[in-house]
Amino acid sequence: MWVHLFSDGVVERATGKASAGGAIRDMEGNWIVGFNHFLGNYTPFDAELWGILDGILVMLKKGDKRATIQTDNLEVIKALIEKEMEDSGITILRMVQRTMRSE
């Protein structure tokens, strides 16, 4: 069964405090579950990746193995699909890529 994972990360400009969250919906768009996570101080890039990782982990815990992932950050999308980024020093990016490959 395929699901849709919608995720987003946000950073408050004044403090640098970040949060990530999102929702998982079935193929007809019906709500399955939502999630959120206060992160502390992170960049917008990292906050977006945390949202994706959290969503994937929630999805896997519910037993779903296939998803379309939707985010509004083109930089994150490019980083996830480009082979050159697989060995990057960005820990959260490697965690997301590893989780996507393993499951």
User: Which of 21 and 100 is assigned the larger pLDDT?
Assistant: 21
CATH number, domain of 24, equals 3.30.420.10
What φ, ψ does residue 12 adopt, rounded to 5°?
-75, 125
* Distance between start and end Cα atoms, the chain: 14
* Domains in the chain, number: 1
Closest CA to 68 of 25, 16, 18, 17: 25
CA nearest to 47, candidates 80, 77, 6, 76:
76
Q: Using 50, 70 and 90 to split pLDDT, how confident is the model at 4?
A: very high
Cβ(23)–Cβ(33) below 8 Å: yes
| Residue 23 belongs to domain spanning | 2-100
pTM: 0.86
pLDDT digits (tens, 9 = 90+) for 57-85: 999 999 888 899 999 999 988 888 876 66
| 6-21 pLDDT per residue, tens | 999 999 999 999 999 9
pLDDT recorded at residue 39: 95
